[in-house]
Amino acid sequence: MNFKEAAILGSFISKEHAEPLFKLLVNYRNISSSEAASRLNLHIRTVQDFMEAMTIVGILEKEEVYEKKRPYFRYSLKRRKITMEIDLDTLFEKNQLLNGFEKKIREKKNAGARFSLARNSQYFSSVAIWIGTGRQPKERKISLTIAQGNFLYNLPFPSAETQSIYDIIKKAEIDKEHASEILDIVELLVEYEVIEMEMN
């Protein structure tokens, strides 16, 4: 199950009418939205939305039938046990990680970001950036992991030559297991124009 399907399932299964609707589906061979709505005294649109959502996530199946030449759907259970399993490894983009190491970056000139040092002054603990223009820009403070703070502490200054992300990680003696979180903060700070990336 992907995140989109999990979000749909979670949203609809948390409704008060979910259990009585499933009870009907368990006890009826098949049922239409109007029949279920009438049986439970619910608005038909509420039931239709539920039935369609459960069909999308593969819990129900629907069959189009005709009554007096007017088509409608009847729903039945496709499975009687519901499990939600999400593979988080699908969020790990290995190719992006490998390609990201080669990108050359440095701090952007006049970025206006404020880096705060940790107590031991060997890495940054947070970075504050200003969002918006005019008289009332908003400050956004981003807390950093130790690896991220160490990486940014070793980020080349705006006047220095760009360096590859790999070289900065190596210089900062950051373990490779933190590589994905380094790329994540770099991507964010490039978006907020705190870091500039050399274009190929």
In this structure, how many other beta carbons lie within 10 angstroms of the beta carbon of residue 172?
A: 18
Q: What is the pLDDT of residue 93?
A: 62
pLDDT tens-digit readout, 78-94 = 999 998 888 877 766 65
Long-range contacts of 16-23 (CB under 8 A, 24+ apart): 17/42, 17/46, 17/47, 17/50, 18/50, 21/47, 21/50, 21/51
Closest CA to 44 of 52, 53, 57, 35: 35
For 44, other C-beta atoms within 10 Å of its C-beta total 14
1 has pLDDT over 90:
no
| DSSP class per residue in 29-82 | S-EEHHHHHHHHT--HHHHHHHHHHHHHTTSEEEEEEEETTEEEEEEEES-S--
Summarised one tens digit per residue, pLDDT across range 132-141 is 776 777 889 9
Check residue 98 and give its pLDDT.
56
Domain 3-77 grouped into CATH 1.10.10.10: yes
What residue spans define the domains of the chain?
Answer: 3-77, 88-197
